[in-house]
Every structure is written in structure tokens, then in C-alpha cells.
Amino acid sequence: MAAPASFLFKGKFLPLVLLLPQLIITGVFFFWPAFQAVYQSFLREDAFGLSSQFVGFENFTDVLSDPTWLQSFGRTIFFSTAVAGLALSVALFLAVQADKQIRASTTFKTMLIWPYAVAPAVAAVLWLFMFHPNIGLFGRMLNAAGIPWDYKLNGDQAMLLVIIASAWKQVSYNFIFFLAGLQAIPRSVLEAAAIDGAKPMRRFWTVVFPLLSPTAFFLLVVNLTYAFFDTFGVIHSITQGGPGKATETLIYRVYTDGVMNLNLGTSAAQSVILMIMVIALTMVQFRFIERKVHY
């Protein structure tokens, strides 16, 4: 399929024009801001935004030595692990159940993919309305049952809520991948394991799960990236990082410091650090998957 470009298009003009919209979008919304962030991260502005001076790596050292940033970092690790863990395990469970059904599997697939089409902020509002202590159905039920539920006062409860809301949105995506992975496992391999004497649980852990592990690893990286960077909308709609700083993850802190506090230099430095993290995650993924996938 590797036809030379000249085979498909005569000249260079048409291909370039066809690529242009995508190149512009990538340039304007990714490369330019990324470049700006890197540039800004070396500058420090005065309080009124009238002048800025080059400060080298000072913004970075400031960020990395700030105990509240380090707390944020730890919180993000916890949050991301919890979101990825929850989203992956629930999706795997659902996929295994759906895989057992042959007839209605298309219906299940369609229904389970829906949450993915819901914008993070909308998903957040959905969960907010369910768990609001005064007007939320489950929030009221919890309080009525004697459990003091108020995510606006209790930081742990706030964290729990944003984790559930964030994971819920990602379950559908994971589900589709897991289901496809499960359906790619030949039936006869499972039958061979059954005849070899393996009970269902053992079959799952010694045959199914290892065969799913490339999928699972891919999803783990995708989910971690999602939890790190794409959950801003969820957190912003439910808790705005509060109460206190209980749900302030790194990405939310970039927003607070840069947009709320107008501290452009440190905010930019934080985004650059985040950028490096996502690059690292992606590299790990490519390296690992290339080496490890053998079936």
C-alpha cells in the first residue's frame, strides 16, 4: 500500500492544500500554545503584567520546591491511579459479562458506549445532581440514612465523587477495547484450557488475562493520560479543586495559578512539566507495546 505520493497526486500543491486544515489546527491549538508555554516558563511578569524578565529555570525550581505543588502532585498520582484502576476494572468486568452474551451483545455495546459521547462537564453535572447533599437523590438518601454526606465540606468525599465521575466517563471507552480483545481470543484456546482442567477463574487469570494484557496496558496509559489531563472539566464543574485544595490536581492547579492568580510564569512552568510527563507516558507506551506484544 506504500504508494509514492506522486502516484496518488500529481504535483505537490493539492496534497498540501488538503493537509492544510489539519496542519493549521495542530499549529494554532497545539504547537503555538506549547511554544508559548515553554517561552513563558522562562519569564517572570510583574504584578500588573507590564513587564517581564528572563529568569532561567527559576520558575521550575520554585514549582518543584513548593510543598503545595508536591502535595498536588501526590494527590494527582492518587487520583489518576484510582480513576484508571476503577475505570479499567469496571470495564473489564462489564466486557467479560457482555462477552458471555452472544445475542444481545450489539445492544450492550451500543448502550455502554454512550457515556463516552458525554462531555466531561455534562458528566460532572450528572453526578453532581445525583450526589448533591441537598438536591441530589443519592446525597439526600445518604444523609437520611445517617451518613453525613457533603462533598463541599468533606475533602475525602469530594475526591471520591470526582474519581467516580471521571472513571464513569472512561469506562465505556475501556469496555469497547476489552470486549474487542476478548472476542479476538479463539474459543478453542479456552476450550483447550477447560479440557486441561482449568476452572473458569483459573482460565481467566492464566489464559484470558495474559492475552488481554497488551490491551490492558494500552488502556492503562490512555486512562492515566486522561486522568492527568482531561479531567479538568469534571473537577471544575463539581468541586473547583475544593474544598480547600482537596481535589486540586496538577492540571487544575495550572488553571488556578495561571488564570485565577495570573501567575503566568509558574503556571507555564507547571504546564511544561505536565507536557514532559505526557511525553514520557507516551514513550513508555510505544516502547513497551512494540517490545511486548507477541500474539
Partner 1 sequence: MATLNVAGVTKRFGTTQVLHGIDLDVTDGEMIVIVGASGCGKSTLLRIVAGLETATTGSIRIEERDVTALEPAERDVAMVFQNYALYPHMTVFQNMAYGLKIRGRSPEDIRRRVAEAAGMLEIQHLLERRPRQLSGGQRQRVAMGRAIVRDPKLFLFDEPLSNLDAKLRVTMRAEIKRLQRRLGVTSLFVTHDQVEAMTLGDRLVVMHQGRAAQIATPMEIWSHPADTYVAGFIGSPSMNFLPGVMEAGAVRLETGLLLPVSAPLADGHKVTLGIRPEHLLIGNGGLTLAVELLEPLGGETVVHGKLDNGTTVVAKVPTGSVPGDTLGVILPLDKLHIFDAESGLRL
| Residue span 152-191 as binding mask against partner 1, x where in contact by CB under 8 A, dash where not | ----------------------------------x-xx-x
Contact (CB, 8 A) for 60 and 41: yes
CA distance 174 to 188: 25
Task: Please say which residue, 159 or 211, places its beta carbon nearer to partner 1.
Answer: 211
CA distance 243 to 226: 23
Does 207 bind partner 1 (CB under 8 A)? Our answer is: yes
Q: Which of 3, 50, 145, 195 binds partner 1 (CB under 8 A)?
A: 195
- Least Å distance, CB 97 to partner 1, is 21
Does 254 bind partner 1 (CB under 8 A)? Our answer is: no
Task: Please say which residue, 146 or 197, places its beta carbon nearer to partner 1.
Answer: 197
Contact (CB, 8 A) for 249 and 72: yes
Does 244 bind partner 1 (CB under 8 A)? Our answer is: no
For residue 23, which amino acid is it? L
CA distance 73 to 238: 20
Number of residues binding to partner 1, judged by CB under 8 A: 19
Question: Quick one: DSSP state of residue 47?
Answer: T
Task: Please say which residue, 130 or 194, places its beta carbon nearer to partner 1.
Answer: 194
CA distance 255 to 261: 9
Q: Which of 63, 193, 224, 268 binds partner 1 (CB under 8 A)?
A: 193
CA distance 71 to 177: 34
CA distance 43 to 61: 13
CA distance 11 to 188: 52
Instruction: Tally helices (H) and strands (E) across the chain.
Output: 15, 2
- Among 134-142, 194-202, 220-228, 282-290, which window interacts with partner 1 (CB under 8 A)? 194-202
Task: Please say which residue, 13 or 295, places its beta carbon nearer to partner 1.
Answer: 295
Contact (CB, 8 A) for 214 and 66: no
For residue 122, which amino acid is it? V
Grid cell 500554545 in the structure block, residue: 33
Does 211 bind partner 1 (CB under 8 A)? Our answer is: yes
- Least Å distance, CB 190 to partner 1, is 9
Q: Which of 27, 33, 74, 210 binds partner 1 (CB under 8 A)?
A: 210
Does 192 bind partner 1 (CB under 8 A)? Our answer is: yes
State which H helix or E strand residue 176 sits in. helix 155-183
Does 206 bind partner 1 (CB under 8 A)? Our answer is: yes
Q: Which of 31, 35, 106, 196 binds partner 1 (CB under 8 A)?
A: 196
Does 289 bind partner 1 (CB under 8 A)? Our answer is: no
Binding site for partner 1 (CB under 8 A): 186, 188-189, 191-199, 202, 206-207, 210-211, 294-295
